[in-house]
Every structure is written in structure tokens, then in C-alpha cells.
A and B are shown apart, each in its own frame.
Chain A
């Protein structure tokens, strides 16, 4: 019964998708429509995958980590279904099913495993319908408190995901809230983490706010990031150390790659080949807007997505501003979070004496924030597109870095589209 209805929903979804592409519309709508017509469409589509369903959640790094996990599993010979546009809602998953499978076809005929990025709120809804075979819990940091209310609430959501995981959970042993979140889980837990020498590079949310550092969990890590240098990231796996040159930039991406390695090892089991995994990791390029780089009239322009204080702080400590023109674009649309309080939890003094441009719907909140860290903004723009284009085209040859919130990132990419080539969304 649901089979026929699913076929109808799928066909309709395809039609909507084709229509949306013509209009240049959103990616989640076909999935939403399919779920309306055939409730449970997504859950039924995902059943029967030989290696099951992987859910990746946490505050920072979901999109890039999902990209890394997908690359590692594909390099190991698996066919991976994934929601690759960072549309981390359940309906985004349904839309991806519609896109990747012919009407009447089964996901399980074409793929071995599903690797899905879901934000904490959607992950809870998702696992109520589809138990996760594997889950990866990256970190819990304050983010969009106007939406989630509290960090403890977010941690409780991840605990629900952990409890709904059937095979293995991969979790960050250095995040005390995650260590508690997996306590009641029934499936096995594999830990990832960083070595003691890198503790200052990766403060927990509480450490960022002056709490006495809670001792990291004593659990041995399945994959540990032991060192981070210009030559790359060093990982300890099964008692051996491996140096991997990364194309991904930013300290947090190196740590999340440890998570991805551990997750791949859980999914692959005895088939996991360390050399294959590490070679694949070295090839992964940044996801759109997450350290993505393109060339604009002779300058390299890098876009760094910043969504919350922890991520913004780590980004600022990861990238040296010297010799680079810097812009910050802060929007306050729903997807960015309306509350600007978070900007005051980021230390901007490393950008002194000044940056080239501040823009976005809250450009002046950002400008005031910089003022109090004694960082000069040469221009404060209200109209984003022309300002960003001017910024990117100025000083040919000088690298440019743009820190931006989520919707600002989409606008920045649109503003620069005509001056460069970039991966289509």
C-alpha cells in the first residue's frame, strides 16, 4: 500500500524538483511534498541498506565531516548516499532520495550506506523514525540559543540520538557534555579526540567561558589527533602515528577528520585499510563556504563559515590575518540566528589593527564589536553584494578571506559568481 503511495510521492517529487530547478528554487521542497503525500517516505526509502544509516550531528563541522566520511567510505569501495548540500533537515534527506533514485527504484539497490548530516533538532526527529546504525557526535557548543534555548538542551538531544543508535557511536571524548550524553547508550562507543598537547587549541564550551577545565575523559581514543603543523595533521591509530597533509584548512577540520576516520573504521570493520583511508583524507577539499577557495581576478578568495562563538574563535586562531585582506559579513536571518550576543563571546583582537570590510544585515553590530577590540573597519557596508565584489576585486594578488554567517555565505557566493568559477550548489 505504502509502496504505491511512495511511487506517487516520488514521481511528484521528481516533477517538483525539475520545476524548482527551472525556477532556481529551494532544495528541500520536493522532499517536503513527498512526505506530505506519503508520510514515512524517507524512513521506508532508507530501509534495507546493507551497511545501514549513519547520522552525523553536533554544533560545528557537520558538513565538512560528512564530506570526509563520504570520501573515506567511497575510497573503501562503498556506494554512499548522502545529503550533500548541507540541507540538514529530514525533508532535505527526502529530497536527496528523490534526486538520486529513479521512480520505483530502491535506495538499497544503488547504495550500500547512507551518511546523513542532521542538526541536533532534526536528528532527534529522524532517529524516532529511522534508528541510526552508526552515529557521530562531534561537539556541543553554544549556537543559536534563540532556537535551542540552552546548550544542555542540545546535549540532551544528542543523548537521544546516541540511545537510538544500534551498532556504534563515535563521540568526542574531550567534550564532557558528550561523554555524559553517551552514558546511557546501549551500543558500543568509539572515541576520537586530541592529544594533551593540543588542549589549548580545542577549548570546550565551558573552558571558553572560564570554567575550571574538566579533565578530559580517560577513555583511549580509537583515532587521536596528536599534532598539527604546517605539514599536516598527525593521527595515532592502532598505536602508530601517521602524518597526513590536508587540503582542509582550520584546526577544527583536522580534529573532525579524526572523527571521520574513526567512523569509517566502525562502518568498515575488518575491511578498514588505514593507508586507503589516509590517502583519501588527504584528497578531500573543503565543502562550499567552509574554507572554500576560488580565484577572483588574480586573488585567492577564501570563504569561512562562522555560525557560533566556538567556531568563530577557532577560525580566527586557525588563520593568520597577515598579508590577507579580511572581511566579515554578519546576517541575522532565521538561519543565522537573530541574537547578536554571540559576537561578544569571540575575541577579535588578533585582527588588529584593522580589516577591510564589514557587511551584512548587522554590519554595525559587528563594527561596534570590533571597535571595542580596537580593530578598525575601513568600510562598513549595508548593501552586501556591491561591497563584496569591490572587496574581492581590490588589490589584485592579495589573498582575501571572508568570514560569514550562513545566509551571508550564500549571498557572498552569489555576489562573486560572475567573477569566478565555483562549485554549483
Chain B
């Protein structure tokens, strides 16, 4: 890669799109690539599926939700990248992990009946299977990213350890476990959350946090994006819908 072409590029890594794509996770990638363009940069997408290596350059890393079977398939493969992902997280690489991949970014996921799945421990947290699925619209307040609007659908109950902060506090919905009021997790520039719907279309602040952080780390200038009011209206419309 020459310095000429890399100056304006952001390299976005999509972890396991073949298996972890169930709740509109494509929407997150579409929004990231489009908004990268709107910010004046060129998005370069790398899809990493089981057996593939991580690319040399990763400016943003994104993972989605999957079915139980898909999660089992990728959990094993993900271990190969454990050291690399923990290193990138510590270096400040922005990442977004949704639902199933969020769970695998903790230490482990212990389903009710299936064998335990190892995680990569980017987040100091554990997830255990619960008897009821937590499903429905969610509104959550984040200190850094404002009001988050989304939809959750998970049976895993996630408990945060001391080494990680919650992303937000739910004002509607269950969030991590339905008990402590927390939703998601964050450390350095890594964000994990149960929210889809898809997340980024209705939460451009999260998308822009990822893009702007990545651009700053890469020494790239970005241009301001003016928001279409459809987005604010979609947020308000969604927040008013029943659970």
C-alpha cells in the first residue's frame, strides 16, 4: 500500500459477517462506510470470516449478532485473534461489538444447556444464559454518547467486572441483564452493546465517535457532516413506541 492511497483511507474490519449478521448488522456497516465517505475519507472494508487472518491495518473493528450455532462456530476461531484484539483495544483502536460478538468480547459465555464458550476478554465481564429472552425497544442514556435508541433480543445476562464501565443506563428495556440497569460496556475506545435496530442508523453519534477516533489516530482530517432531520425524527418516533 502506498502512502499516497492510504492518506485518506479508513480500514474497517467486519468480524464474521458470514455468521454474525442476524439483526440488521449490515446496517451498521452500511452506515459506517457511507458516513466515512461523508466525512471526506475512503472506506476500505475487510471481511474476516472463520479461518481468515486480520488485515495488517485495522482502523475500526465491527462485529454483529448471530444465531447460537453461528456463535459456536466463531467462538473457536476468535481465540486465534485474542492477543491481537486485546492489543489493538489497549492501543485505542475503536471497535463496536453488538449482541453475540459483545458477549464473546467478555471472558466467557455460559449458556444454560450448551457447553461454555470462551471469549477474548477485551471486556472484563461474563455472560450467563437466562431462562427468558429479553426482547424489545430500548432507550438508554450514555454520558459520552447521549441517548441511545435501539432494540434488544438476547437471553444471555451480562455482568460487568471491575475493569470495565457500563456504556449506558437503560430508561426503557432490560439492557445487560434486566437487574442492574446497565446497558453495554466500554473501555478505551471499544464499545459493546446489546442494541441493534440497527444501532448506527439511529445513533449517528456512535458512528461518528468510531470514525472520528479512527481518523484522529490515523492523522487524518475529517469534514463535518450535517445531519438529515429524518434521523432525529426516527429517534423520536422509535423512543415513543411501546416496548
Contacts and interface: CB of A to CB of B under 8 A. Distances in A.
B196 interface: yes
Contact of B137 (A145, A338, A371): A338
Interface string A282-306: 0000000000000000000000000
Contact of A152 (B69, B201, B238): B69
Contacts of B136: 146, 338
B226 interface: no
Contacts of B196: 339, 341
B234 A367 contact: yes
A324 interface: no
A369 B197 CA distance: 11
B151 interface: yes
A340 B22 contact: no
Interface in B51-88: 67-69
B202 A210 contact: no
Interface string A332-361: 100000111111110000000000000001
B169 to A, nearest CB: 22
A209 B25 CA distance: 10
B27 A341 contact: yes
With most chain B CB atoms within 10 A of its CB, the pick from A364, A367, A382 is A364
Contact of B197 (A142, A339, A371): A339
B241 A332 contact: yes
Given A151-B67, A364-B230, A341 B237 contact: no
B18 A367 contact: no
B231 interface: yes
Contacts of A18: none
Most buried by B among A151, A342, A363, A371: A371
B148 to A, nearest CB: 15
Contacts of B22: 142, 145, 150
B234 A344 contact: no
Given A146-B135, A151-B67, A152-B69, A371 B238 contact: no
Contacts of A368: 201-202, 228, 230-231, 234
A211 interface: yes
B151 A149 contact: no
Contact of B237 (A152, A209, A362): A362
A246 to B, nearest CB: 32
B177 interface: no
A419 interface: no
A342 to B, nearest CB: 6
Contacts of A382: 237
A372 B67 contact: no
Interface in B220-241: 228, 230-231, 233-234, 236-238, 241
Contact of B198 (A149, A209, A344): A344
B151 A341 contact: yes
B30 A365 contact: no
A311 B121 CA distance: 39
A123 interface: no
B24 A361 contact: no
B197 A341 contact: yes
A210 to B, nearest CB: 5
A150 B67 contact: yes
B172 to A, nearest CB: 13
Interface centre among B24, B67, B137 (most CB of A within 10 A): B24
Contact of A344 (B24, B34, B68): B24
A363 B230 CA distance: 9
A380 interface: yes
Contacts of A371: 228, 230-231
A382 B201 CA distance: 19
B119 interface: no
A365 B153 contact: no
A339 B69 contact: no
Nearest to B30: A372
Interface of B: 17-18, 21-28, 30-31, 34, 47, 67-69, 133, 135-137, 151, 153, 196-198, 201-202, 228, 230-231, 233-234, 236-238, 241-242
11 contacts: A209-B26, A338-B151, A338-B241, A339-B197, A340-B24, A340-B151, A341-B27, A345-B26, A364-B230, A365-B202, A371-B228
Given A344-B25, A380-B233, 15 more contacts: A145-B22, A150-B22, A339-B153, A339-B197, A340-B197, A340-B238, A341-B151, A341-B196, A341-B198, A342-B24, A361-B237, A363-B237, A364-B234, A364-B237, A368-B202
